[in-house]
Amino acid sequence: DAMVIQNPRYQVTQFGKPVTLSCSQTLNHNVMYWYQQKSSQAPKLLFHYYDKDFNNEADTPDNFQSRRPNTSFCFLDIRSPGLGDAAMYLCATSRLPGGQETQYFGPGTRLLVL
Amino acid sequence: GESVGLHLPTLSVQEGDNSIINCAYSNSASDYFIWYKQESGKGPQFIIDIRSNMDKRQGQRVTVLLNKTVKHLSLQIAATQPGDSAVYFCAETGGATNKLIFGTGTLLAVQP
């Protein structure tokens, strides 16, 4: 009954080597989000898609990009990972944007940068 | 590697006791509140939510209380079990952005 799926669960990359994380959803939700979470901290929103409209957070570094080729899939691209980008990356979805819409999270991908 | 994280507030309870986790939220315009449970190495899991037109909502073994006057939210877990051990985040949202604002998180440690 997986609803928000993230692959892989663990990803190892080298400093400066581009990496892509994947998210898919079976909920047919219109909105997909990417969060970064570091140890013992709350998730931090990077950006989200409402259908095909991309909404970037003001403090998200240019190093982070996203693609949403269709309703079900969304990708997070890190163009040149630095050591500080090692974190858990969480994908979430909601039916609609706006208040009073629950966000449902995937299991996350743990990124390690060597 | 990762930068050193903050130390989370920790609540330690005995198995079978009731747990109360508190959260102060920041935005008086927030009108929707969610509690998430996050186990180690996993994504946040929705537990229960409450809208601002309510002050109490009950689920299975969990109750959320909302006090808008003092901007306070609490999660009560009845008969706490070892499987309840996790970090609990409150989150608030409101208005048109649907941007979730997370609290700092509380680590619940259940002692057998």
pLDDT the model gives residue B3: 38
Nearest residue of B to residue A96 by CA position?
A: B98
pLDDT the model gives residue B96: 60
Whether the CB-CB separation of A21 and A87 falls below 8 Å is answered with no
Whether A70 contacts chain B with CB within 8 A: no
Contacts with A84 from chain B: Cβ below 8 Å: 2-3
User: What are the angstrom distances between the C-alpha of A43 and each of A82, B13, B99?
Assistant: 19, 25, 12
Mutate: best of A100, A110, A111, partner B, most B CBs <10 A: A100
pLDDT the model gives residue A8: 92
B55 Cβ neighbours under 8 A, 6+ residues apart: B65, B66, B67, B68
| Chains A, B: CB pairs < 8 Å | 84
Amino acid found at B23: C
Give the strand pairing for B10-14 and B106-111. parallel
Give the burial string for B12-48 (b: 16+ CB within 10 Å, else e). ebeeeeebebebebeeeebbbbbbbbbeeebbbeebb
Write the pLDDT tens digit of every residue in B15-74: 999 999 999 988 888 899 999 999 998 999 999 999 999 999 999 999 999 999 999 999
User: What are the angstrom distances between the C-alpha of A92 and each of A30, A40, B3, B60?
Assistant: 11, 19, 24, 24
pLDDT the model gives residue A71: 96
Which of A39-43, A79-83, B81-85 has the least mean pLDDT? A39-43
Q: Quick one: residue A96, left, alpha or beta (phi over 0 = left, psi -120 to 50 = alpha)?
A: beta
B97 Cβ neighbours under 8 A, 6+ residues apart: A97, A98, A99
pLDDT the model gives residue B57: 98
- Residue B8 carries which DSSP code? P
Q: Which among B2, B44, B95 is the nearest to A99, CB-wise?
A: B95
Mean per-residue pLDDT, A20-30: 96
Q: Hey, are the CB atoms on A98 and B98 less than 8 Å from each other?
A: yes
Q: Per-residue confidence at A56, pLDDT binned at 50, 70, 90?
A: very high
Q: Hey, are the CB atoms on A38 and B102 less than 8 Å from each other?
A: no
Distance CA B54, CA B48 (A): 13
- The C-alpha of B42 sits at a distance from chain A's nearest C-alpha, in angstroms, of 5
Percentage of chain A lying above the pLDDT 70 cut? 97
Contacts with B49 from chain A: Cβ below 8 Å: 102
Q: Per-residue confidence at B8, pLDDT binned at 50, 70, 90?
A: confident
Give the strand pairing for A109-113 and B86-93. unpaired
pLDDT the model gives residue A61: 95
pLDDT the model gives residue B94: 78
